[in-house]
Amino acid sequence: MDFWFEANVIGRPHALTDVLGLTYNQFLILADEPTGALDSRTGESILALFQSLNQSGRTIVMVTHDEHIAHHARRILRLQDGALVGDEPVAHPKVVIEAKPPEKAAAA
């Protein structure tokens, strides 16, 4: 994947390049609310990137308060007051399929 292209296509170069700077050749990626301050399209791009990295053998530890985001993972660990209170496998994690940019209308 051409990461420079991806970063510029989504229109938020800093969001994706910040993540990529941390992920290059890493086996463990820690992500604290990685989609929290992003628009939904950019957030989906980050989740797609994480899923791709995970499929290539990297471990992603993502903290989120958003159930929708959490269900993109294969496992959800729940913490309360600093203690582990739940460990749930996700039978069917949500898969991000990145939307292609709309095609330009043909000139009439």
Q: Which of 1-5, 48-52, 97-101 has the largest mean confidence?
A: 48-52
pLDDT of the residue at 103: 53
Mean pLDDT, residues 73-97:
93
- The total of structural domains in the chain comes to 1
Return the CATH number at 71.
3.40.50.300
* Three-state secondary structure of the chain: CCHHHHHHHCCCHHHHHHHHHHHCCCCEEEEECCCCCCCHHHHHHHHHHHHHHHHCCCEEEEECCCHHHHCCCCEEEEEECCEEEEEEECCCCCCCCCCCCCCCCCCC
Asked if the structure places residue 77 within a domain, the reply is: yes
Looking at the predicted structure, is the pLDDT value of residue 97 above 60? yes
Task: Return the pLDDT at 21.
Answer: 56
Tell me if 105 is assigned to some domain: no
pLDDT digits (tens, 9 = 90+) for 24-81: 566 888 888 888 888 888 888 889 988 988 888 889 999 999 999 999 999 999 999 9
Indicate whether 32 belongs to any domain. Answer: yes
